[in-house]
Amino acid sequence: MEHVNGKTVVITGASKGIGAATARVLAEHGARVVLAARSADALRTLANETGGLAVPCNVSDYGQVEALMEAAGKVDVLVNNAGLIDPIARLEHSDPDAWGKVVDVNVKGVYHGIRAALPRMVAQGGGTIINISSGAATGALEGWSHYCATKAAVLSLTRNADKEMRDKGIRVIGLSPGTVATDMQREIKASGINPVSQLDWDKHIPPEWVGQAIGMLMGPVGDAYSGIDFTLKTNKERSLVGLPPIA
């Protein structure tokens, strides 16, 4: 992944899970990582490990996201990773305030990242935005109305941003990794709702694999996935990343 070396990559939700794993993978390949999350202590620890820049940020607040981009300076790549799934509940038992909070992070947070990054990328003559998506974007799962609806919105944002920005040299790509061994899967397991909660832990892929896929999509291979979701749920796509086939 020579194309990763020297790039400045802003990663939201970077304090744990996919975000932290991605930061480690990209830093190992020479990227300058700018780490954003609400957990300042965890960010500082990861920044010390990766040589990156820690910027505490709540992505649901546009002013904080704009400040994040200012702190980053040049933004070659934005990884919109921050997301919530808790609390999981059937619609008739859902809490409207909690449902709205998921929208604030999962949808508005992605929009805020795109909106704050685009002027900088246009001025630079190009860039790449990778939005973490999900199979939930195109499917319905019991107890996940908030997650399915917000991921569907993220897929639409990917499509719209690609349509508007491709001719300016900006690639907007979705990444649907499948189930990943992170704290989110522990929340899903604890809910006991829908088949995903019944999966054994060894069915989930390591978060480092998602980091490797992001690194690959930063390069020329990503051109073919502008405006759509790249998935790690097929052997074709896994082979592009250099990952083992599905068992």
Q: Fill in the DSSP letter of residue 136.
A: G
How far apart CA 171 and CA 148 sit, in angstroms, is: 24
Q: Is 147 a catalytic residue?
A: yes
Q: Fill in the DSSP letter of residue 106.
A: I
Which candidate in 62, 111, 147, 225 is catalytic?
147
Long-range contact list for 187-193, CB < 8 A, 24+ apart?
A: 187/85, 187/86, 187/88, 188/85, 188/88, 191/88, 191/143, 193/88, 193/89, 193/90, 193/142, 193/143, 193/144
SS3 36: strand
- Report the catalytic residues: 147
